[in-house]
Amino acid sequence: MLIAILHYSKPPVIGGVERVIGEQAAALRQLGHEVEVLTRHEWHMANWDAVIVHNVFTMPFDLAWTKKLIALTRSRPDIRWINWVHDVRWSEQVPKAVHVAVSEFRRLDYMKVTQEPVHVIPNGCDANAVLGLTDRVRELKLEHAGLVLLQPTRFVRRKNIEFGLRLLVELPEALYIVTAAPDPHQSDGAKYFRELKQLAKELGVSKRVRFLGEKGALTDHDVRSLYHMSDLLFFPSTQEGYGLPLIEAALHGVPVFCSHIPAHREVAVGATFFKLTASPKNLARKIKANPAVQIRQLQRQMMVRLSWPRIIQEMLEPLLSGGNAP
């Protein structure tokens, strides 16, 4: 479809609506639509299939343009006009359009001025851009995982990665991310890695553990992105001299579950400690019940719910084609 998106200003101007229309346009283009984002001085008539008007019908910053567009909704019924309502400050005239409110609160507000249906379509959010995720981490699509455990570590036996594999058995919805690759100059590290892969196979969790270093070393930006997308740091080392990931996780606001060893006790902030002899089943129960972990899961679920491609395909495109939003 040939689509125009209208507002009083547009990116790179900074503002909430400006960000919304920029991301909306990008997602529509990604889905195959031709899109122009236009302001008052750029506006022109063309063979538009649809015109999405953000706030111009309801915020009278340029009342002459508002009234002209409202008149066009009546004289050009061949165009699918979408009245995207973020705010309501003017309602003396209601356009002949499909009305979309960004929340249930705003829908009820706008229902005071029109008897026509008002659909609720939330503004999406390009969470990948907001979080600054690297392409490598985006490709993992961790927002769709049930639970994400992160262990940034090398393949050294004292890192106790096998504990994470056994824990994975008790968390059937979980994905376990281990960052390192075996060091080719360290024979025992390579042997340990092979043992871990064999154990994962025996436990039936091979498809839910990612040894990311197998496909090349991660950058610092990749690791920061993994912290953003993880529900908890899992650090079951049997011995450490310090434990830097405990600090990094705390700075990123990631809940920490770590072994009860002296260095961890000294370094960790707000961590949940467990004994090295802890039962994986009991530890899994504590992880699932942890409020901070649950909040992290909800944040990733929000990424899916407010994904622009999802919103456009499931909610906006039906309206653009003349149907009704679900």
Give residue-wise pLDDT tens across range 236-251: 999 999 999 999 999 9
CA distances from 104 to 120, 183, 289, 310 (A): 6, 55, 31, 19
pLDDT in the model for residue 184: 66
User: DSSP secondary structure string, 285-304?
Assistant: HHHHH-HHHHHHHHHHHHHH
CATH topology for 129-304 is Rossmann fold (3.40.50)
Rounded to an integer, the average pLDDT of 71-89 is 97
Checking if the pLDDT of 14 tops 70, the result is yes
Q: In the chain, where does the domain assigned CATH 3.40.50.2000 lie?
A: 2-125+307-320, 129-304
Quick one: what percent of the chain has pLDDT higher than 70? 98
Neighbours of 104 (CB within 10 A): 11
CATH topology for 2-125+307-320 is Rossmann fold (3.40.50)
| Separation between Cα atoms, residue 214 and residue 163, nearest integer Å | 20
pLDDT in the model for residue 326: 53
Q: Is 114 left (phi over 0), alpha (psi -120 to 50) or beta?
A: beta
pLDDT in the model for residue 180: 85
Query: Which has the higher per-residue pLDDT, 154 or 25?
Result: 25
pLDDT in the model for residue 214: 86
pLDDT in the model for residue 190: 86
Checking if the pLDDT of 46 tops 90, the result is yes
Quick one: what percent of the chain has pLDDT higher than 90? 92
Tell me which of 11-20, 70-79, 122-131, 175-184 is least confident.
Answer: 175-184
Checking if the pLDDT of 324 tops 70, the result is no
Checking if the pLDDT of 231 tops 80, the result is yes
